[in-house]
Amino acid sequence: MRCSTCGYELDENGKCQNCGNEAAKVHVMSQEEKEAYHGVTIEEPSSRREHFDSSANNSNRKIYVNTFGLGNSNWLVKISIFILVVAILAFVVFVALPVILVGAAIGIVVWLILSFIRH
């Protein structure tokens, strides 16, 4: 989580070590503030923004951190599934497809030989 005033990374107590601002002052920026702010902003879906706002007290902040950690592991799972799907597609394209093409080629050659014999 970052400081709402200067964008500096907050410590574990939610306090900014750069300007002394605390997480209690964290709020959703207005359009005007967004235009004036040049630091890194975190775009939250509306369902999570409410949670982000309530992170001022300690227990809620822990839940927020836990949810965030779970989100990271889901992200890793998604990447793993993506790699698996790519591996399967690579297998299909580079192994199964040549086998099918060779099989089809053999079939065509056999068919040509048979039709040549008949004539």
Closer to Zn ion by CB, 13 or 72: give it: 13
> Closest Cα partner for 18 from 2, 31, 32?
2
* Total Cβ atoms within 10 A of residue 38: 7
Provide the minimum distance between the beta carbon of 49 and Zn ion in the complex, in angstroms, as a whole number: 20
6-27 CB burial, b ≥16 within 10 A, e <16: eeeebeeebebeeeebebeebe
Closer to Zn ion by CB, 50 or 53: give it: 53
16 binds Zn ion (CB under 5 A): yes
Among 9, 13, 18, 39, the residue binding Zn ion under the rule CB under 5 A is: 18
Task: Count residues binding Zn ion (CB under 5 A).
Answer: 8
Which CA distances in Å does 7 have to 2, 4, 10, 54, 115?
A: 5, 6, 9, 19, 78
Using CB under 5 A, which residues numbered 19 to 78 contact Zn ion?
19, 21
Among 1, 5, 15, 22, the residue binding Zn ion under the rule CB under 5 A is: 5
CA 83-73-63 angle, to 5 degrees, is 160
Closer to Zn ion by CB, 17 or 57: give it: 17
8 binds Zn ion (CB under 5 A): yes
| Binding region for Zn ion (CB under 5 A) | 3, 5-6, 8, 16, 18-19, 21
